[in-house]
Amino acid sequence: MIRWLTIIVLAISTVGLGVWGYKENQDKNAVLIQAENSYQRAFHELTYNIDLLNDKIGATLAMNSRQQLSPQLAEIWKITSEANGDVGQLPLTLLPFNKTEEFLYEIGDFAYRTAVRDLEKKPLSEEEVQKLKQLHEQSGEINHELRKVQNVVLKDNLRWMDVQLALATTDETGDNTIVNGFQTVEKTVDGYEKATAETGISTPGTNQKFRYLKGNDISKQEAEQIAGKWLEKVKPEKITITQSGKGSDVPVYTAAFQNGERNGYMDMTVKGGHPLTIMISRPVKKANISLHEASNKAVEYVEQLGIDSLEMVESTQYDQVGVFRFVYTKDDIRFYPDAIIVKVALDNGEILGLSAREYYNSHTERQIDAPSLSEEEARDKVNPQLEIQESHLSVIENDLQEQVLCYEFLTTLDNTTYRIFINAETGDEEKVETLKQTEIMFDKNV
């Protein structure tokens, strides 16, 4: 009897395991099919967008009406954004495809910059027309190669999941037709860097990051001392120092620590030992100090940077944490690109974060011309429904990555606060920021 019961239990268990395994296999196949369909859609949309991009650039060259030219260039910018999005959805993380992505970005950037300017006052130059011709030729070559890959994919019913496996295993015996095709596309774009250098299409600031850093290179031992200063309540023996590898936008030392529920890291520049990022992670308990008290802690903390003329321009509370933004000021002008963010715990006032990358990337002494518009003229450009509370002169970075002088107006409508930036040269509304749950701080200069 016991023998039969054992057999029945084993049989039921075997059947149950079989059903479970079958269901698991079905679920796995469903996920794989969904991923494969997503990859296929992104690839075919990428091919279509590159084809469309080539047509739109060609049509731009044939246009004579400036009224039609701006919308056409804006359309090109939109298509390049979609194409870059398609690339991002493909399993190409292990396959170098950065030159093609850079090419798409550069086309979009050139198109956007040209589309937003007044082409009646400043029409396309002969040099820009030549740039468009080069872009048209280049996009045609990319389109041709992608069409060849697409033809093989459809003809041989190739799967993108095999591509992912081939990239992960570098299996030369597998069918790498798609991989080889994309490598050919990348080689086709290889000459683009030289072309951009010759034609000047490159984006402002390319390879110019952190060019204003001051100081001598520091050693690993010096980095440990600096980390001990900034990482409060962390013993030196708990800190691990590593150095960034090649390809980073700026050489840095990273100081990291782990101590139970409390852990964090600090990035500092090799040149000068300037703190770029500090992050401390730990459970934050119920708030015991006010946002104003926390702002005083933030002011004391940034004073250690030794930077003159930092002004706190806003403070915000997120749950039990206060976040404060400082900007560099000179001659009563706020320089928003030179920003520093400080994060303070409201349970005990501990500094949980510092972000100074923007400041050290942008800060330099500028020569600012006097505004062409008066403040009263700029006020007339603000929506009359808004109530202006205060005003400043400020330098911001616009959508074209250009630093422009603006009149900054702090305004309110109902229970919402807005920061409006009016270009002091043209009177254009450059930017509108909504300040939610924000307490504007006054007389908080460092």
Sign of the Cα pseudo-torsion (274, 277, 282, 286, in order) = positive
pLDDT at 439: 46
The residue assigned the tokens 């900054």 is 408
Q: Which residues lie across from 413 on neighbouring strands? A: 416
d(CA 219, CA 253): 9
Amino acid at 437: Q
d(CA 322, CA 352): 10
User: Which CATH architecture group holds 375-438?
Assistant: Roll (3.10)
The residue assigned the tokens 């911001």 is 396
Amino acid at 302: V
pLDDT at 145: 78
Segments of 260-332 assigned E as strands? 262-269, 275-281, 310-318, 321-330
pLDDT at 174: 43
Nearest Cα neighbor of 115 from 76, 77, 74 is 74
Q: Where are the domains of the chain?
A: 2-199, 220-362, 375-438
Amino acid at 178: I
Give the pLDDT means over successive 10-residue stretches in the chain (446 positions): 59 55 52 68 82 84 71 84 77 58 79 78 81 83 79 72 57 54 64 45 50 90 90 80 74 87 89 92 90 94 91 88 93 94 93 92 89 94 92 87 91 88 92 67 51
Own/partner long-range contacts of 175-178 (Cβ < 8 Å, ≥24 apart): 177/149, 177/152, 177/153, 178/149, 178/152, 178/153
